Amino acid sequence: MQTTRLNKLMEFLESDPNDPFILYALATEYNVQNDVEKALAYYLQLIDKHPDYVGTYYHLGKLYEKQQLSERAIQIYKDGMVAARRKNDNHAFSELQGAYNSAMGMDYEDD
């Protein structure tokens, strides 16, 4: 099933190699399959070519955290918050801020 989905996404990519949704879907699919190198490559391509595709930042940051690259994750969250503000996407900003706070060790819990 995953291979079929991946093959279909690759067909879509051939048809429209610059579509941010297809790039995002590929990055996500590779991430689900634990193919870190390919997921990372597609997320970075998105950041480079489509910096306003805000959803990328959260998932790329989480991938960096999973790889224990917290400084990179923190920077990506910060970049994502800037992109979210540019787009007036308060929901994405809030999610990125929560991820940033967590990565910085600033989780706030009620006692």
**Same-domain status, 3 and 45:** yes
Count of domains for the chain: 2
pLDDT mean by block of 10 residues, the chain; 111 residues:
81 93 95 95 96 96 97 98 97 97 80 44
pTM: 0.88
94 and 79 assigned to the same domain: yes
In a shared domain, residues 80 and 43 = no
Range of the domain at 2: 1-50
Please state, in angstroms and as integers, the Cα–Cα distance from residue 22 to each residue in 2, 25, 38, 81, 103, following that order: 15, 5, 14, 22, 28
In terms of domains, do 43 and 66 share one? no
